[in-house]
């Protein structure tokens, strides 16, 4: 049978380890306007209970936090994207590997505008979102689609690990997590908002690649820290850096939490060092790179603030968690 004991964890201060200033919430954000949420819920993805839970995600606020420089039209695109991403995550969180594979196949067909083979609730919103960004360049569209396929493949891999009860090495985990977090597409959204397409010489630059990987890792690791208590309580913590470190290195909860925070800081250091080392691509392209990297940094900061400011991870206790840095989880123990 299962016995439960309460465990207290200190949430590491990721804000002090983030060397970029945040511009704050997009001034165009209006709390009463839930257009992106209503848009996704109109497709009937969720039951009444899960609809209520999804509303508490406040995806419009995430869009406004992560993209504070977006104009009204671009902010709606950004909000629709993070809403679609959150819907996909919630929809697939409890799917087994077969269910996740079916969702993957439907999602990829929707990306390419192909007709459904097996009906899926995720098809129509995906097609509608892709239609909303039909104005972007061919190069950016191809890169965005490629990143979306990596994302849904990562979701499928996560479901397989969850179903089979397997724990990858930490290095393998990071590769999967970079994909299933959907954060490379989130960085592509920066280009869409700015109305730019980064040249291939930038995309292929070693320092640029290290910066982008480190930025995505920062957002994944911060999400793993903030979401850990909720995922642990729900039994969905198998694909979380804290759990992987505990399993592979024999760490206790707090030790694994602190190690994850150190890895987050290491990524921030990589970004700072690689920005200094990056070569010039000429004045015009350098300005594009500067604006893009600023946008990615805002996404990192905004993601952290949204995680603490909404009920998504800490529910009604979020103000106390913000004040004390302490979260309580129910530790699972098995006994005969």
Tell me whether residue 265 is exposed, middle or buried, using C-beta atoms within 10 angstroms of its C-beta: 0 to 12, 13 to 18, 19 or more.
middle
Cα dihedral 129, 134, 137, 138, rounded to 10, equals 90
Q: To the nearest whole number, what is the mean pLDDT of the chain?
A: 92
Say whether pTM exceeds 0.85: yes
Tell me whether residue 16 is exposed, middle or buried, using C-beta atoms within 10 angstroms of its C-beta: 0 to 12, 13 to 18, 19 or more.
exposed
Q: How confident is the model at residue 336 (pLDDT cuts 50, 70, 90)?
A: very low
Distance CA 212, CA 296 (A): 8
Q: What is the pLDDT of residue 332?
A: 61
Question: Is the Cα torsion angle 310, 177, 39, 62 positive or negative in sign?
Answer: positive
How far the first Cα of the chain sits from its last, in Å, is 6
Q: What is the pLDDT of residue 113?
A: 85
* Token representation of residue 166: 């397997």
pLDDT (mean) for 278-287? 98
Question: Do 278 and 205 touch, CB atoms closer than 8 A?
Answer: yes
Domain 2-334 listed as CATH 1.10.3720.10: no
Q: What is the pLDDT of residue 334?
A: 44
What are the CA-CA distances from residue 321 to residues 17, 41, 257, 311, 317 (Å)? Answer: 18, 30, 15, 11, 6
**Cα 239–Cα 244–Cα 247 angle in degrees, nearest 5:** 130
DSSP per-residue string spanning 237-289? -TTSHHHHHHHHH---HHHHHHHHHHHHHHHHHHHHHHHHHPPP--HHHHHHH
Place of tokens 């997590």: 177
Q: Could you tell me whether strands 326-334 and 2-10 are parallel, antiparallel, or unpaired per DSSP bridges?
A: antiparallel
Place of tokens 């724990």: 167
Q: What is the pLDDT of residue 335?
A: 36
pLDDT 10s digits, 69-119: 999 999 999 999 999 999 988 888 777 888 888 888 989 999 988 887 777
Question: Do 147 and 203 touch, CB atoms closer than 8 A?
Answer: no
Residue 4 bridge partners (DSSP): 332
Distance CA 284, CA 135 (A): 22
Q: What is the pLDDT of residue 3?
A: 54
pLDDT (mean) for 126-154? 95
Phi-psi region for residue 206, left (φ > 0), alpha (ψ -120 to 50) or beta?
Answer: alpha
pLDDT higher than threshold 90 for residue 65: yes
pLDDT (mean) for 281-292? 98
How many other β-carbons are positioned within 10 Å of the β-carbon of residue 184? Answer: 21
Place of tokens 């590769």: 175
Q: What is the pLDDT of residue 268?
A: 98
pLDDT higher than threshold 80 for residue 333: no
pLDDT (mean) for 172-187? 95
pLDDT 10s digits, 17-30: 999 999 999 999 99
Residues 6+ apart with CB under 8 A from 305: 22, 65
Share of the chain above pLDDT 90, in %: 73
Q: What are the sequence ranges of the domains in the chain? A: 2-334
From 99-113, 212-226, 246-260, the region with the lowest mean pLDDT: 99-113
Q: How confident is the model at residue 331 (pLDDT cuts 50, 70, 90)?
A: low
pLDDT higher than threshold 70 for residue 210: yes
pLDDT 10s digits, 144-154: 999 999 999 99
pLDDT (mean) for 268-272? 98
Q: What is the pLDDT of residue 1?
A: 41
């Amino acid at each position: 049978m299962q016995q439960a004991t309460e465990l207290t964890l200190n949430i590491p201060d990721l804000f002090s380890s983030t060397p970029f200033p945040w511009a704050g919430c997009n001034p165009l954000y209006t709390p009463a306007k839930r257009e992106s949420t209503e848009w996704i819920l109109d497709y009937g993805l969720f039951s009444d209970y899960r609809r209520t839970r999804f509303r508490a995600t406040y995806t419009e606020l995430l869009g406004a936090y992560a993209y504070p420089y977006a104009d009204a039209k671009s902010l709606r695109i950004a909000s629709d994207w993070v809403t679609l991403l959150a819907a996909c995550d919630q929809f697939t969180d409890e799917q087994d590997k077969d269910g996740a594979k079916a969702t993957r196949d439907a999602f990829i067909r929707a990306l390419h505008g192909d007709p459904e083979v097996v009906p899926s609730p995720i098809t129509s919103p995906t097609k509608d979102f892709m239609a909303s960004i039909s104005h972007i360049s061919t190069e950016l569209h191809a890169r965005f689609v490629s990143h979306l396929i990596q994302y849904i493949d990562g979701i499928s891999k996560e479901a397989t690990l969850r179903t089979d009860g397997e724990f990858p090495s930490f290095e393998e985990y990071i590769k999967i997590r970079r994909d299933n977090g959907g954060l490379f597409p989130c960085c592509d959204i920066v280009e869409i908002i700015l109305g730019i397409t980064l040249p291939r010489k930038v995309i292929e630059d070693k320092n640029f690649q290290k910066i982008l990987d480190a930025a995505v890792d920062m957002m994944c690791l911060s999400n793993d820290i903030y979401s850990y208590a909720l995922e642990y309580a729900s039994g969905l913590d198998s694909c979380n850096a804290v759990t992987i470190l505990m399993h592979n290195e024999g760490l206790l909860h707090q030790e694994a939490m602190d190690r994850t925070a150190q890895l987050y800081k290491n990524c921030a250091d990589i970004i700072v060092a690689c920005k200094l080392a990056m070569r010039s691509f000429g004045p015009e392209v350098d300005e594009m790179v500067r604006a893009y990297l600023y946008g990615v940094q805002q996404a990192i900061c905004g993601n952290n603030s949204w995680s603490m400011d909404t009920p998504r991870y800490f529910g009604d206790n979020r103000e106390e968690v913000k004040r004390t840095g302490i979260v309580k989880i129910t530790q699972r123990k098995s006994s005969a």
